[in-house]
Amino acid sequence: MSNRKIKFGDLIINDEAKELINKALDSNFVSGGYLVKELEKEWGRLFGYKYNVAVSNGTDADIAACMALYDFGAKRGDEIIAPALAFAAAGNSVLAAGFKPVFVDIKRETLNIDPEKIEEKINSRTVAIMAVHTMGKPCEMDVIQKLAKKYNLKIIEDCCEAHGAKYKDKFIGQFGSVSTFSYYVAHIISGGDGGMCSTNDPKIYDVLTSLKSHGRKPGSLYFDHMRHGLNFRINILPAAITLEGIKSFWEVFNKRKKNLNYLLEKTKKLRDFAFFNSEEPYETTSPHAFSITLKNPKYNYKKLYEFLQDNSIECKRNFGSMPTQHKAFEFLGHKLGEFPEAEYVGDNGLHFGIHQYLSKEDLDYVSGVLYEYFQR
């Protein structure tokens, strides 16, 4: 066993970030403040989002995006379409906001919602489609936009794993009514925690600004609550760290992309064994992580997981089918077999980090471990 440790992600706070943190501490204004406003402005400038509301994490960003639907005619118990496979925050946020998640199966090759299976789930109670760009790969937004227009639905883009990704020359987050982001430690821009809601709609922006502070009327006296909201405010310390990350975004993005492409090239002879990250000519994927979904269960996902962990490569399951492989969603009444693609990936897929702090030697080591496993 090597002494090398391949962590899923890392957060190294540099001198510039430390200086911003010290300024935050000196301001004696920990919740909110000028650094949060600066973060919102710089985030919008980075990707061209007109209006931005910083929140406490990516899950809260999803919850706020869902809760904003009430101002556009949605009622409690209405339905939001979501992928069967994604990080659990996608389903949890729909439930927390008072809606029913209606799950749609995915494509195992992309890990994203299968757009051809969405329309059959739309009915009179459907108010939105949540498109989750899993592992940084853009969803097929042309089809999703056409369906949203046909049925007068809102689109929520969960971009938490997809900072900087593009679909047909437009940054993801520009296709929906509101987009959500996470600054968790494993993501390209990280504050250790934190999140963002972005929109080009001024009305949605006003609603989100109110929702993040218990539904208060913006600019009004305290305790004038015009809608049901919660406390989604971001702490100024992760805001300070995230702000520095925005300034170095493209440097980090390009380093991670280089790592991803290098490892994909190193492992190309293993493509008979597994689906890896893919990128179409019309898209730019975000280098969130390195994904492996076995093409044949005989290669044994659990043994691969244990083999990687035993060789000091931190890895995580490819999420699993929320409605049928996680007890947390059991009360919704779905049965195993309803979402065969999501369930297959849940039983046969994992991912690990390709973050900016990994060296070429680290990636060579990972490649060697993978070859050792599949060629045994």
pLDDT digits (tens, 9 = 90+) for 157-193: 999 999 999 999 999 999 999 999 999 988 999 888 9
Q: Where are the domains of the chain?
A: 15-247, 249-374
Residues 309-327, mean pLDDT to the nearest whole number: 97
Q: Do domains 15-247 and 249-374 have the same CATH topology?
A: no
The rounded mean pLDDT for the chain is 94
Between 13 and 373, name the one with better pLDDT: 373
Q: Which residues contact 108 (CB under 8 A, 6 or more apart)?
A: 275, 293, 341, 344, 345
Residue type at 245? G
Residue 49 to residue 178: CA distance in whole angstroms: 10
DSSP state of 282: T
Q: Is 321 exposed, middle or buried (0-12, 13-18, 19+ CB in 10 A)?
A: buried
pLDDT range class, residue 153, cuts 50, 70, 90:
very high
Q: Determine the Cα angle at 89 with ends 139 and 231, to 5°.
A: 120
- What CATH fold (topology level) applies to the domain 249-374? Aspartate Aminotransferase, domain 1 (3.90.1150)
Residue 62 to residue 208: CA distance in whole angstroms: 11
pLDDT at 39: 94
pLDDT at 28: 65
Q: Which residues contact 340 (CB under 8 A, 6 or more apart)?
A: 105
- Dump pLDDT digits (tens) for 198-223: 999 999 999 999 999 999 887 666 68
Alpha carbon distances (Å) from 268 to 262, 278, 301, 333, 373: 10, 12, 19, 41, 15
- What CATH fold (topology level) applies to the domain 15-247? Aspartate Aminotransferase; domain 2 (3.40.640)
pLDDT at 31: 64
Placement of tokens 């494993």 in the chain: 186
- Dump pLDDT digits (tens) for 119-132: 999 999 999 999 99
Entry pTM: 0.95
Residues 73-100, mean pLDDT to the nearest whole number: 98
pLDDT at 297 exceeding the cut of 90? yes
Would you list the DSSP string of 145-208?
HHHHHHHT-EEEEE-TT-TT-EETTEETTSSSSEEEEE-BTTSSS--BS-EEEEES-HHHHHHH
Which two tokens mark 107? 């494509």
pLDDT range class, residue 240, cuts 50, 70, 90:
confident
Dihedral of alpha carbons 357, 360, 361, 364, sign: positive
